[in-house]
Chain A
Amino acid sequence: MIELNEEQIDKKGYKLHIVNSKKFKTVHITAKFRCLLKRETVTKRALLPFVLQQGTKRYTTSNAFRRALDDLYGAVLSMDGTKKGEQHILTARMTIANQNYLSDQHNILTDGLNLFKEALFAPNVINNRFDPKVVEREKQTLKQKIAAIVDDKMHYANMRMIDEMCKEEPYHLHVHGYPDDLERITAEELYSYYQSVISEDPLDLYVLGDFESIDIKKLIGNLFDRDLSKHLDLDISSETPVVNEVKDIIEEQELQQGKLHFGYRTHTKYADKDYPALQVFNAIFGGFPSSKLFINVREKNSLAYYAASRFESHKGLLFVFSGIAPTDYDRAKAIILEQMEAMREGQFTEAQIDEAKRLIINQYKETLDDPFGMTEVLYNQQLADSSRSVSEFIDAVESVNHQAIVQMANKIELDTTYFLTAKGGQSNA
């Protein structure tokens, strides 16, 4: 049986997670800072990864910094911001070759860890601010990135649906920030926000790899120790509003394929007892190519190339996505709604349940074959304060029965439907 092999250590100012795994020829370092999603800070937090990657105190240009990474057998460093429920997670990742596969005697992991630390904790700062030129240039980069979202229709439609669905909740906030707020950010303000992040935000550091011949604890030592200015206990409990009336939204753009997205509230989160029932529900409803959505929207009615569902575990949401011809709106919508009704009425067999469970377990094990997948699984547990071993996870999924799935289907409420369609609307084929 595979196990996660995670060792957690409370270090000064952060939590260290060491994951020893023979699966990979590389070592993976991931730092995750979290805070609550807030309109006042969301754009600064979005800009920060761009600026931090432009250089450090030692390597003052992006070019010099990237060459230092290249020198370490092409160590890969990336930083980004994502949403987990109503928290805004700032993630920095590094992948570096494991010494065991190189003829080079030089200890590249030590250098890699130092460079990773530098990128986070020793940025290029002059007179208590980031270089204003760098900040202005990276504001342009981010601004263009925000502007380009509308060119990715699936992403855009999903963002717009959440805008409407969660209008009153922090969850609607865009993790890439807002152009208006971006304009106003100065190099001083950004630096002052950065200081609050590194001295206040709860930090989890994951180090994953084959450490059989590497003393990883010694290498980490006190490298990432922090003096916390205050100890934050984030209140992540959020009320999910009751749905009074389903919102139906239609928007038009110049495009060929319409995007039909549905947003549901599951009222079910990661640590909840009935979370495994939600997983099995989703596998039967829309999570896989054998699911009701794919079979009925695509295979039986040829309405779409894709039709699927996905759930969010920290807020309690379920999304349906499909790409359809603008003229097929009414038909596709009716078919998707019928599939949910069928779930509520229990129209699925024991064989389908078994199959769904096997697919979930397969997918879960596959996620653990990927270094960042494994880190995400562990971080989700950390956030939900719910640690499950691989076997506990499998047992929980196995124990879900027909009745639990029907109960889940009846607990799930439709909140919003969103259709992004061609100009001229549904009459324009």
Chain B
Amino acid sequence: MHKKHYPQIKETVYRETLPNGLRVILVPKNEMAQTYGVFTTDYGSIDQSFVPIDSDERVTVPDGIAHFLEHKLFEKEDRDVFQDFTKNGASANAFTSFTKTAYLFSATSEVDKNTEILLDFVQTPYFSDQSVEKEKGIIAQEIQMYDDQADWRAFFGIIGTMYDVHPVKIDIAGTVDSIQLITKEDLYSCYHTFYHPSNMTLTLVGQFDPEQMIALIKANQAQKTFEKTPHINRFYPDEALGVAKSEDAIEMPVAVAKCMVGIKEEPKQDSQTFIKEELLADMLLDYFYSKSGEYYQELYDLDLIDGSLGFESERQKQFAFSVIGGNTSDPDKFAKTVKSQLESFKSYQLRKEDFERMKRKMMGGLLRDMNSTSEIANQVSQYQMLDIDFFELLPTLESLSLQDANQFLNNWIKDDNVAIFQVRIAEAS
């Protein structure tokens, strides 16, 4: 087991890759009552087209299947796995994103037992025709709940405006129609392809002894056999760098309209470039659009925002985009103003003192993230999949220069990479 101490943040991290390929990351934090464990597979909603492990032919599976599979792994022939955790005083959950599926528990006792339950339930699938049918009703309700949420519709609306063919534009849960097509066989095919230990990471943060814990995990894995480590062939369509449409809109029965502005970016493969750009994108969005930001202030003075203004940068190796938006009383004027603000990025010169302040602000933010076992575990495993060490973010951040920031900023906006999406107020029917 590889041990690494990070003196500035006073944490020690243990890492090991097991013979079956499973990556294990242990972060003991004995001052916390809670232990948080997350078992993550490098498989999400965008992984729809692939060659299954037991076949030579490429298949494309229905929209929403990764999320459907996440729901179904909790159900076994004789029981619901939630109960196994609750019997041991733990709470469990799971989530599916564009690029990964994560299963997690948090517990303040019986950490060993709960870790074994986590490993065992994810590694023993049980799908039946009957239980697949039953789940369709539950997930249809989940989809309809999101369909009523204007923020969610706005988020997927802007993605769908920016992207032409890439599956990132598809709602993670699929649609009420697409999930009807899912079969037990599809689930097994996805499961066997993407849930091989070599495609997965187990991260534990909290109260345990690392030596004992790794021994327990090794013993658990040694009891199981997996087919030979495969290389997974995944296919993503060729997506143009420019936006698919420059603007789009829907009407919803909302009281307040929304406007989103998206920047479509070129995804980066190299981990160093990737993390540098991610930190810079976060920093610069914050610089312009948080409450201390110059452009936030401009939108505020023009009466275009109400405190719900948000921004985020979603970056993976397969796609990258940034979004700014929120409630607005005038979606057209909001769009026009933000577009011209973005246009100014091309020649904007960030000053040294502002850059240093933003760096300090981000350092404080990283320390805040490190307060919680769940935040650490989720971030560590997410960055692990991108070959990035979460605990090295602080030094990476410190190493960024003003020149890096201005160079990124000046090249961020192209002539064809900005899109607008609006949720307009539907007239009452």
Cβ B360 vs Cβ A289 within 8 A: no
Residues of B within 8 A of A423 (CB): 429
- Asked whether A147 and B256 contact (CB < 8 A) given A73-B361, A257-B141, the answer is yes
B123: Cβ under 8 A from any A Cβ: no
Contacts of A329 in B (CB 8 A): none
Interface residues of A in 47-81 (CB under 8 A from B): 50, 61-63, 66-67, 69-76
Q: Is A23 an interface residue (CB 8 A)?
A: yes
A211 within 8 A of B: no
Known pairs A98-B367, A290-B82, A355-B89 / 16 extra A-B pairs, C-beta < 8 Å? A25-B371, A74-B365, A76-B364, A97-B368, A137-B303, A140-B303, A140-B306, A148-B254, A302-B134, A302-B136, A305-B138, A305-B145, A323-B141, A361-B108, A362-B90, A371-B371
Contact B297 A63 (CB under 8 A): yes
6 nearest interchain CB pairs?
A66-B292, A74-B361, A302-B137, A74-B364, A358-B89, A73-B364
Establish whether residues B360 and A256, one from each chain, have CB atoms under 8 Å apart when the complex forms.
Answer: no
A-B pairs with beta carbons under 8 Å apart, 14 shown? A66-B290, A66-B292, A73-B367, A74-B361, A95-B368, A102-B363, A150-B255, A151-B255, A254-B253, A289-B86, A325-B141, A325-B144, A362-B109, A371-B371
A72 to chain B, nearest CB (A): 8
**CB of B33 within 8 A of chain A?**
yes
B16 interface residue (CB < 8 Å to A): no
Say yes or no: is B142 at the interface (Cβ < 8 Å to chain A): yes
Q: Cβ of A338 < 8 Å from any Cβ of B?
A: no
Asked whether, in the complex, the Cβ of B306 is within 8 Å of the Cβ of A323, the reply is no
Chain B residues contacting A370 (CB-CB under 8 Å) are 371-372
One of A21, A144, A153, A295 near B306 (C-beta < 8 A): A144
CB pair A366–B33 under 8 Å, yes or no, is: yes
What number of A-B contacts does a CB cutoff of 8 Å give?
184
B371 touches A304 (CB 8 A): no
Q: Which of A98, A254, A256, A351 is within 8 Å of B426, CB to CB?
A: A254
Does any Cβ of A come within 8 Å of B48's Cβ?
Answer: no
The reply on A87 being an interface residue by CB < 8 A is no
Whether, in the assembled complex, A319 has its beta carbon less than 8 Å from a beta carbon of chain B, the answer is: no
Q: Which of B144, B367, B372 contacts A257 (CB 8 A)?
A: B144
Q: Is B341 an interface residue (CB 8 A)?
A: no
CA distance A288 to B80 in the complex (A): 13
Chain A residues in 8 Å Cβ range of B307 = 50, 141, 145
For the complex, is B373 an interface residue (Cβ under 8 Å from A)?
yes
Chain B interface, number of residues (Cβ within 8 angstroms)? 69
Scan residues 317-348 of chain A and give those whose CB is less than 8 A from a CB of chain B.
Answer: 323-325
Q: Within the complex, what minimum Cβ distance (angstroms) separates B387 from chain A?
A: 25
Shortest CB-to-CB span from B198 to chain A, Å, is: 31
Candidates A73, A153, A290; contact of B363 at CB < 8 Å: A73
Task: Note all chain A residues with C-beta closer than 8 A to B199.
Answer: none
How many positions in chain A have a CB within 8 Å of any CB in the partner chain? 72
B224 within 8 A of A: no
- A104 shortest CB reach to chain B, Å: 8
Per the 8 Å Cβ criterion, residues 346-393 of A in contact with B are 351, 355, 358-359, 361-363, 365-366, 368-371
Given A153-B148, A361-B89, A365-B108, CB of A26 within 8 Å of CB of B292: no
Secondary structure call for the A interface: mixed
B360 and A73 contacting across the interface, CB-CB below 8 Å: yes
B141: which A residues are within 8 A, CB to CB?
257, 303-305, 323-325
Query: Residues of B contacting A289 with CB < 8 Å?
Result: 82, 86, 91-92
Residues of chain B with a CB closer than 8 A to A25's CB = 9, 367-368, 370-371
Q: How far is the CB of B251 from chain A (nearest CB, A)?
A: 10
For A290, what are the chain B residues with a Cβ–Cβ distance below 8 Å?
82-83, 86
Q: B77 an interface residue at 8 Å Cβ cutoff?
A: no
B87 at the interface (CB under 8 A from A): yes
Chain A positions near chain B (C-beta within 8 angstroms): 2, 21-26, 50, 61-63, 66-67, 69-76, 95-98, 101-103, 137, 140-141, 144-145, 147-148, 150-153, 253-257, 288-290, 295, 298-299, 302-306, 323-325, 351, 355, 358-359, 361-363, 365-366, 368-371, 423
Cα–Cα distance between A147 and B297 once the two chains are bound (Å): 22
User: Hey, which chain A residues are within 8 Å of B138, CB to CB?
Assistant: 298, 302, 304-305
Question: In the assembly, what is the distance between CA of A324 and CA of B142, in Å?
Answer: 9
The chain A residue with its CB closest to the CB of B361 is: A74
Q: Which of these, A2, A153, A351, contacts B33 with CB under 8 Å?
A: A2
Q: Is the CB of B91 within 8 A of A288?
A: yes
Residue of B nearest to A68 (CB): B292
Answer whether residue B107 sits at the interface, using C-beta atoms and an 8 A cutoff: yes
Q: Whole-angstrom distance between the alpha carbons of A70 and B355 in the complex?
A: 11
**B223 at the A interface (CB under 8 A):** no
Q: Closest B-chain residue to A368, C-beta based?
A: B33
Tell me the smallest distance from the CB of B301 to a CB of chain A, in Å: 9
Contacting pair B148 A255 (CB below 8 A): yes
B413 part of interface (Cβ distance < 8 Å): no
Answer whether residue B362 sits at the interface, using C-beta atoms and an 8 A cutoff.
yes
Bound Cα distance from A305 to B179, whole angstroms? 15
From B296, which residue of chain A is reached at the shortest CB distance?
A: A63
B residues 131-164 touching A (CB-CB < 8 Å):
134-139, 141-142, 144-145, 147-150
Chain A residues within an 8 Å CB radius of B10: 101
Q: In whole angstroms, how far apart are the Cα atoms of A406 and B144 in the complex?
A: 36
